[in-house]
Structure 1
Amino acid sequence: MKCQLSLPLLLPPLLLCLEPPSPDNATARAAPPPRHPLQPPYPYPYRFLLNEPHKCRGGPPFLVLLVASQPGDTAGRATIRQTWGNESSVPGVSILRLFLLGLHPVFGRELRGTLEEESRLHRDLLQQDFLDTYNNLTLKTLMGMEWVTRYCPEAAYVMKADSDVFLNLDYLVRRFLLPPKKNFITGYVYRNTGPIRHPAYKWYVPREVYPNNTYPPYCGGPGYVFSGDLATKIYMVAQKLPLINMEDSFVGICLHALGIGVTHSPMGVFNMYWLQYKKCRFSRLVMVHHYQPQDVLAIWPDFQQTKCPR
């Protein structure tokens, strides 16, 4: 039996043992292991059903904001456009907003016309033909990386955000992104965490999908920001790595393969837990998790009015 190192970009490496060719068929090869149901096929030629390929032709934006959204959440997207996702929310800074969608697992055909009309009206929807499920969030993020790579590679920064957050783009830009950087990514940083192996949890990752006991450092999925050059680097290295169903952890795996570290942000600036709204506290935060769009809509007028001491 011959043994060879596999997954050389992960630490520690895995040792896979392959049966030698049978004597009567010297060209026989070991069949690849079957793909686990939690491991979506990738690389795979997913098609853009909704696309905005010309958005950056007028010049690269300072920030591309990629918002993970569910296909049926028309009201949530409308609220985000009015609040933290407004492209004019940071005076003097060019922001480009795009929502990331897959196909609704049940009502994909029924939603088609509604989404096409929304796309014609707002020109901010990206959709590919994979099912929009929790375990396919990695595909959704990689769709955003693919779009930046193909159509907007000169963007200074990219931010990936979930739809259930409060986001303070003005504080993010002025406190953390000036002057522009390269090979930069920050958010709420996780270190020395590992896969959850119990199938009862939605974060379940079996050993067949990811065999190592720990993940490389990564930024929590509700919201993280990275320099534009990293979008292409992450997208390209993702073509060579086994996909896992945890989107944020997979981005960390890609960074590890690239030899690029994550940058810590000050404690609590990217907040992964719900906080009660207080204007002057929120003015010094980039993100607060577990704020649904309707919650943000309720606090946004107050957040926009009075100024807090710097």
Structure 2
Amino acid sequence: MKRKVPYLKLFLPRRRGIAVRLAVLSLVLAAITAAWCLADLTSQVLVPPQPILALDHYAINRSLKSYLDNISVLIEPSITVCSDSERVELLVLVTSSPKRFVQRQAIRDTWGKHVPAYFVLGLDGVAVEDLTADNYLEAKEYSDMIIFQFQDHYQNLTLKTALMMQWTAARCPSHLDELMLFKTDDDVLVNPWLLRRVVRQNSGKDLVGYRKMNSYLHRDAYNKWFVPRWLHRPDLVPQYLSGTGYLIRGSRLEEILQAAFEIPIINLEDVYFTYIVSKFKLNLTLTHDRRLSPYKPWLPLDCIYWGLGSMHSLTSNEMLGAWPSIERLGKKYEQGFENCRYFVVNIWTELFLC
């Protein structure tokens, strides 16, 4: 019968061979330390490949108007919330991309049932042929997608946001005086009941969102939010509203677009539209409302979700998991009950967000 060897005892001192075992243990620890240091050194020497920035077209053309004049709508709903004569208080347009069906479906199954929400996206390429059959069938089934003929990637988000404004102004002309456009992303969980309260409490305001103050632009080419100096020379942005979700007064949409046509475009849509165009050029007011949060709760408490009008960076599963609590509290709110009022007013702070 083969005898089992207790390997741990090789490293434990006995009466005999203590020096040998200590020497072996020292060699093992030295090898681990050397491997750790080598890995750290290698990580510093082997720089990862530079990400695809796709900014070359801005070096050729920075005229927003010329871009919009050459982008057409391929698919849009035949009937929208603006098609009738009823009052439209809120319109939500969600930036998405062709392959993010799971994220769009999560919104349809949750908060998208309670507010007029439409998804805005482009194509995987630049030609009409790049419209996939899946996106075509999805748009026909749900009638909530607006697909434009332009290449959909992160650096074109400014173009997409401009198209959202242009589409709203063209499709909702009789509602612009009372309408607030909520521009948001498909990884944002919205609390429809609180979002409507935010709209009502900020009635008449120009732009409302989570205001960031004295931010510095990223000049590192490996950063997702990299802005080369030839696109925007100043390093400091005094204030802007986070692009994860902000409200624009409908009557200001055309004014903002017309002003943007005179200003060279940059790749950060929130900095471009809320600061450079709206604040710096037009001197519009940027109203801070922490309930339109660019963060998400790190503690999954019902009252924390209820205290936010929108929260960012949620996966589709996180959105589906958090929604039942919001919906339950929303139905009680409709009946005149607000169980979380004391918590939201007296306890809720941004310490619960990450």
Higher RCO (C-alpha under 8 Å, 6+ residues apart): 1
- The alignment partner of 1:101 has SS state of strand
Equivalent residue, structure 2, for 1:309:
340
Q: Per-residue displacement from partner, 1:171-226 (whole Å, max 9, x unpaired)?
A: 1212x222673342111101222321121211111121112232252110111112
Say whether the 8 Å CA contact 1:98–1:126 is kept in structure 2: yes
Pairing 1:261–2:285 present? yes
- For 1:303, give the aligned amino acid: I
Whose helix fraction is larger, Structure 1's or Structure 2's? 2
**Does the C-alpha gap of structure 1 residues 120 and 37 become closer, same or farther in structure 2, counting only changes over 3 Å?**
same
Residue among 188, 196, 199 paired with 1:173: 196
Say whether the 8 Å CA contact 1:64–1:158 is kept in structure 2: yes
Say whether the 8 Å CA contact 1:163–1:293 is kept in structure 2: no
Pairing 1:131–2:158 present? no
- For 1:173, give the aligned amino acid: R
Pairing 1:104–2:114 present? no
CA distance in 2 between counterparts of 1:197 and 1:278 reads 38
CA distance in 2 between counterparts of 1:159 and 1:238 reads 19
Residue among 141, 144, 150 paired with 1:121: 141
Residue among 64, 67, 84 paired with 1:58: 84
Equivalent residue, structure 2, for 1:298:
321
- The alignment partner of 1:193 has SS state of strand
Equivalent residue, structure 1, for 2:28:
none
CA distance in 1 between counterparts of 2:99 and 2:311 reads 23
Deviation at 1:81, TM superposition (A): 1.1
Equivalent residue, structure 1, for 2:264:
242
Q: Per-residue displacement from partner, 1:141-197 (whole Å, max 9, x unpaired)?
A: 1110010111113241110111112211211212x2226733421111012223211
- For 2:75, give the aligned amino acid: L
Say whether the 8 Å CA contact 2:241–2:270 is kept in structure 1: yes
CA distance in 2 between counterparts of 1:305 and 1:103 reads 37
- For 1:305, give the aligned amino acid: R
Residue among 161, 172, 187 paired with 2:184: 161
Aligned residue-pair number: 267
- The alignment partner of 2:235 has SS state of coil
Deviation at 1:280, TM superposition (A): 1.0
Equivalent residue, structure 1, for 2:206:
184
Equivalent residue, structure 2, for 1:274:
296
Aligned counterparts, 1:143-222, within 5 A: 143-153=163-173, 154-155=175-176, 156-174=179-197, 176-178=198-200, 181-222=203-244
Larger radius of gyration: 2
TM-score w.r.t. length of structure 2: 0.69
**Does the C-alpha gap of structure 1 residues 147 and 160 become closer, same or farther in structure 2, counting only changes over 3 Å?**
same
Q: Per-residue displacement from partner, 1:6-26 (whole Å, max 9, x unpaired)?
A: xxxxxxxxxxxxxxxxxxxxx
List gaps (5 residues or longer) in structure 1: 1-33, 90-94
CA distance in 1 between counterparts of 2:90 and 2:110 reads 16
Deviation at 1:108, TM superposition (A): 7.7
- The alignment partner of 1:160 has SS state of strand
TM-score w.r.t. length of structure 1: 0.78
CA distance in 1 between counterparts of 2:184 and 2:170 reads 20
Deviation at 1:279, TM superposition (A): 0.5
List gaps (5 residues or longer) in structure 2: 1-55, 333-338, 342-354
- For 1:48, give the aligned amino acid: V
Say whether the 8 Å CA contact 1:38–1:244 is kept in structure 2: no
CA distance in 2 between counterparts of 1:229 and 1:292 reads 33
**Does the C-alpha gap of structure 1 residues 51 and 204 become closer, same or farther in structure 2, counting only changes over 3 Å?**
same
- RMSD across aligned C-alpha pairs, in angstroms? 2.4
Deviation at 1:99, TM superposition (A): 0.4
Q: Per-residue displacement from partner, 1:7-57 (whole Å, max 9, x unpaired)?
A: xxxxxxxxxxxxxxxxxxxxxxxxxxx964597652222111112364222
Q: Which moved more, 1:102-111 or 1:188-197?
A: 102-111
- For 2:240, give the aligned amino acid: Y
Equivalent residue, structure 2, for 1:8:
none
Say whether the 8 Å CA contact 2:90–2:199 is kept in structure 1: no
Q: Which moved more, 1:131-140 or 1:110-119?
A: 110-119
CA distance in 2 between counterparts of 1:221 and 1:215 reads 14
CA distance in 1 between counterparts of 2:60 and 2:96 reads 20
- For 2:83, give the aligned amino acid: R
